[in-house]
Structure 1
């Protein structure tokens, strides 16, 4: 017992010896303290569990974008690839519009030379583009993570549904990207095609799922400018809707709307059977000069209101993809190129006035439509897929001269035309559909 503690361990100075009762008490206190220490502190735990952060891509400017891993054979991204870990609260929706592009050494999510949905002008690798650095970046939001696109999850949601992409060639670009992403998981059958691919429809038989493309660059009724036919101006009829897609909306469960670039072309505006304005028209026409921003907002607002009116109880989803900027280094119709081979750094290139205003219109009108629907009995849901900033930072992701096969050999000494508006596939446009999936799921 502690009261029989051997004398050989006692302090030699009698004045320092503790009384037996006090010695037992202090010993018990010490044992309790040691027990508590081992109970609440894990001596094997590391000092910190914080993982080292990955340096932003511009920290080492001399390093090129990462090359594909040796096992890459032009196939799809591994389905067992680790997923980024979300850091945002589930109660707070992620703001995917604010972030930066960071290196991603994994192969692209699908084979860019094998997907049959790609329009020839977007198949950059098949057309001879040799540099592949543009394939190895991913979008990293500032306060959260953007999960990899899951074709399985998208097809599970799309089962027994019909999704339509409505708008201009950038809407078509996004639709083709989605088809390639989904086809990497499940085969699709092209069941309808007309007008040089402007109207197409695919069916995923295994899921009874349908994806369509509707060409409608003005969303409302319009006639396109055609230099070949001597037509110098677009003609827009603001009070009439484009029934080529609007009339089929009853059979469509989700519409992804993307328009904007065609509104920047000189146009004459009609409303109520008369000309109400003109953008970029010659003085001799004697029409009131009108801002295309105002017309674009008016068209988006009228279109969303008409969808809500016709299908108030249809349970529709309408997602509006925001404006996608071009990167021509000069005048596009004079062969201006887009020569950059890396994304812009965060803060290196801000949005121009046009891009800012066009994005703002879509975001605001989508929010207004969503608010009106929530305050009524409407079951139509509206949301913006905000891609303007992330697209603005990718001057390297366009076809450039590779909008056709072997462009420099085919040019035969003539200037080579560049496409610095649409997106290579695979490429940045696939991120549009990553955000679309998250918009759908939440």
Structure 2
């Protein structure tokens, strides 16, 4: 049955309508949680005020109003609203919508083509939008939960402004709950603490908080009020928004790594808990912890790598959930350890010099000479065996003759690197003294 027949028959009035649909805003000013876009001085408000609406890409998590705002833009600009999903559409569908838009354009009617999950289209499909965007056949509004910089073609992005939709904060979610209570004509049967828990369960998703509210109303008995514990039992628990292969994954691992680097074990434990709670592979986290140990602690505390490796082995032995505690221990150890990226920088500099300098021969005095020919060529001649020297240090040059001595590794003086710095400074002094003596003789 078509939508028109459905409406004409009056069946839409008797069909159950979810609360999020009933509360869908009627104008941009009613949209909550996006004041930077829909507020009095918001980006979209200014565009409408100056009649300068162009093609757009809406980037943000689910339930933040992307589809609703697209509908409202079409209504407020008198554009025909056409919606399609990249998940269920192919090239044939696109061609059909483009032809329909061309037909409407000939009659003076513009088209706002809203494409949900636009990042699901491949490169060729994304390129097909370019001609109809350029000639004004459609005003494209694409919605994506993934970073457009990575998922959308540069050509498409150059023709569309990217607007960021933010997760709804507790105030915005609270306004939606208040609207729901007004719509239902009754308050949610929750005490103050449970109300806060409900908002946190929504995880910034406006559609989710309304769906959760409906569940509460359905589950509550007459004159029953849920506390936080009862609420969690009734609703179970909504999984955090977190795609292990996409943006959420990279954002959280970045936050974990930077919290360790920033010596904040409290924040580091929080992000570790977020990732484990969302189902991240603990062995992935264990490998990243090892990377933190060598990249951000290094020789300032050599035990950091020992702790990180031990955590990996402990998890491998114990499994989940007991082994996760070992990873948490390593995270806290690294976050509280002295920090140094001296080794990380030294290795990078050494690699660059090795690549740029080419295949230089080591100095002959440190080359082995197993044959008479090699001895005759001077291999091994003049080599000073360090253990036979005073302080077990010869001070000889080990770099190629064509390459000046380089100081790749410069200890920070923090943690164990303070001891290493003392050794290096001592050897540098001896090297200068012995080089000076050789020059004088």
TM band (smaller chain)? under 0.3
Higher strand share: 1
Higher helix share: 2
Q: If the length of structure 2 is used for normalisation, what is the TM-score?
A: 0.25
Q: If the length of structure 1 is used for normalisation, what is the TM-score?
A: 0.25
Larger RCO (CA within 8 A; separation ≥ 6): 1
